[in-house]
Chains A and B, each alone.
Chain A
Amino acid sequence: MHINSPKFKANVTHALADTRLQKALDFTRPSFAGRRSAAVANLPEFEQLRDIGRDIKNHTLAHLDFYLETWAANVEKAGGHVHWCSTADEARAAVLKICQDAGARTVTKGKSMISEELGINEHLEKHGIAPVETDLGEYILQIRDEGPSHIIAPAFHLNREDWEESFRKVHTDLPADRVFNERRDILTEARTRLREKFLAADVGITGANFLIAETGSSVIVTNEGNGDLTQTLPKVHIALASIEKVVPTLEDATSLLRLLARSATGQDFSVYTTFSTGGRRPGDLDGPEEYHVVLIDNGRSNMLGTEFQEMLRCIRCAACMNHCPVYFTVGGHSYGWVYPGPMGSVLTPSLIGVDQAGHLPNASTFCGKCESVCPVKIPLPKLMRHWREREFERHLSPQGTRSNLAIWAWFAKRPQLYRYATGFAARVLGWLGGNKGRVASLPFASGWTEGRDLPTPEGDTFFARYAKAQREGKA
């Protein structure tokens, strides 16, 4: 996927001026947070489950090689095939080869963020194979040639009128009087069109929410049922999974599933939770003839053993972005790559480089809401701060910021001189505030004053007043 993260600031300006986007963000914001908190309130052991989820993931990451090899052996035992890919190139090539070997012309796809990361659609198209997104949100985005703005609700930035416009653009046979007032109208239109694609597809590609080492299974959760049609109707099923998706046992997967939907959509469980173990066995009524898992590293193993290892616990529930005030101000596309919001602000620099994605971990107030709702307790602000440290060490942070910081630090380390400097600053600012107690414009603080007045100091600093009071015997 094209990298737009270096243009974060310009993306933000654009997003703030986009009234349709802002309307969609305002509309969705309360429902995400409200649904999660209702679901959590209904499960007394939710907090304990978060600890269990964190521990399962930590244990697995500490023994990742063992669990991946165990999982892969069990996939093969069940008749499936594992394709180990260390880079995006290798993964794209593996997917293409499986499709070409199957003589595929049409490929249906379930929603998969790793597919976005790898750019599977573009690669297949380039080689004459037509990918068809079957998740409702991804379907409309494919029509509009847009990336997802959210990892579980990819098209929630669109309004009803956007949907109708897009449908009418490609479904040219739609009667003019056809109405798209309700969600149901949109669904019916998409279902009708997709039905023929499901039946025509030669290969179905899905993601995987979990890989289970003890059984060699992959698991997907969906609410639309499109994932099941994608993976059971065609002759060949390809599951795309990154290495950190593996968990040791079925029991572990179910513990994490109890966290996943509640954290994501506020459901107790997603509508469909599907386990795939190998392809169709003799006697099975349906299922694909071939079952492949394309296992992808693409930079993740570099995070092992570093301060960013904890990020690999992520189960992609989106609770962090659903509760993020920055995300709901700027929208997902502003982040400029596949993964938006707090989890993206940590993961994206790991995968595409902090020199490309440096804005992301900086564009956070460290309000801590994301960490407080993360089902596997990833300390997201701490990890963003680690990226800021890496930037500082590599002199990637802006020179102006560094100089200001250095001057401030020089004084702050010298309390006596600091007293003189702050005394001076307090008086100058107080003078600028005059008899109003605030200034509306300051050239060296335009970042502050372009949208806010700057309240000015009371007068003398605390330490000046305190020293005076002490001299006068009042303190």
Chain B
Amino acid sequence: MPNTKPRVALFVTCLVDLHRPSVGFAAIKLLEQAGCHVEVPRAQTCCGQPAYNSGDRATARELCRGLLDAFGGYEYVVVPSGSCGGMLREHMPHLFDDDPNTRARADALAARTYELVSFLTDVMGVKSVDAAYAGTVTYHDSCAGLRELGIKAQPRALLASVDGLKLTELADAEVCCGFGGTFCVKYPEISVRMVSDKTKSIAATGADTLLAGDMGCLLNMAGRLKREGSPVKTRHIAEVLAGMTGDLPPIGEARGGEGRG
């Protein structure tokens, strides 16, 4: 009964597109398992945050206008990132405060847009996933997902259903990892000190794997862990939930070798 399936557009995000395509495929797999019909509109690029948070409102508007066209007509737009999800849900409509027609379209898109994991649990009613992961993981709550979209219980609920996975909570899980978009290269000294605080907390959990739901934070934390020579593996939560960790090396590690050789 393909017609009864909700038609979902995947917003891949620029970092998943460039750095970690497997997260996009993991998202498709999870959405299809949940009973969605998934399409990937080709006209999408980026949610505009690099411009928006650099004060370039005009560029952010233009990019978001492109997304309104790209994602029009879908029942839902799902994005494997709390940060880009927050941009579309909480910020994008206000870029059109002075343009009532576009604002109405933006509001409609915002209301249909969800971060991946919370979409699975809150909209599709997914209670468990068919996946296994042998290891102890810890989970970092990315800021935008946590504070703009209220994502906290959802990833933990689904992780609890992964065979063999043990979750050890991270002290200060809600404290920023220091990524902050362009912040991490504008103020590298501060950013590196913040992510070093984070890697200390990660090490203290004794977990062998770090998970989160946002590529920016993951690249930042993985980059620091590897610089410190840490054996902790870093992955996007979707890879684990989709059971796609088998032949996919952790972020920042080589194909064929887990951990630092």
Contact = CB atoms under 8 A, between A and B. Distances in A.
A, B from the same assembly = yes
Interface of A: 9, 12-13, 16, 325-326, 329-330, 362-369, 371-372, 385, 387-393, 397, 401, 405, 408-409, 411-413, 415, 418, 422, 425-426, 429, 435-438, 440, 445, 447-448, 450-463, 465-466, 475
B51 A409 contact: yes
B87 to A, nearest CB: 11
14 contacts: A12-B187, A12-B190, A16-B190, A362-B186, A363-B186, A387-B55, A393-B55, A412-B63, A418-B45, A422-B17, A435-B255, A437-B249, A451-B224, A454-B219
A448 B18 contact: no
Given A369-B147, A447-B186, 5 more contacts: A365-B179, A368-B147, A371-B147, A392-B54, A435-B254
A372 B147 CA distance: 8
Interface of B: 12, 14, 16-22, 24-25, 28, 40, 42-46, 48, 50-57, 59, 62-63, 66, 143-144, 147-148, 174-176, 178-197, 219-220, 222-224, 226-227, 248-249, 251-255
* Interface SS majority for chain B: helix
B223 A455 contact: yes
A455 B251 contact: yes
Contacts of B222: 438, 453, 455
Nearest to B252: A455
A364 to B, nearest CB: 7
Question: Which among B52, B62, B63, B254 has the greatest number of chain A C-beta atoms within 10 A?
Answer: B254
A29 to B, nearest CB: 10
A385 B20 contact: no
B227 A457 contact: no
B55 A392 contact: yes
Given A367-B143, A401-B186, A325 B223 contact: no
A448 to B, nearest CB: 6
A367 B253 contact: no
Contacts of B45: 411-413, 415, 418
Contact of A447 (B18, B66, B185): B185
Nearest to B148: A368
Nearest to B40: A466
Contacts of A13: 189
A405 B49 CA distance: 11
Closest 3 A/B residue pairs (Cβ): A365-B180, A451-B192, A392-B55
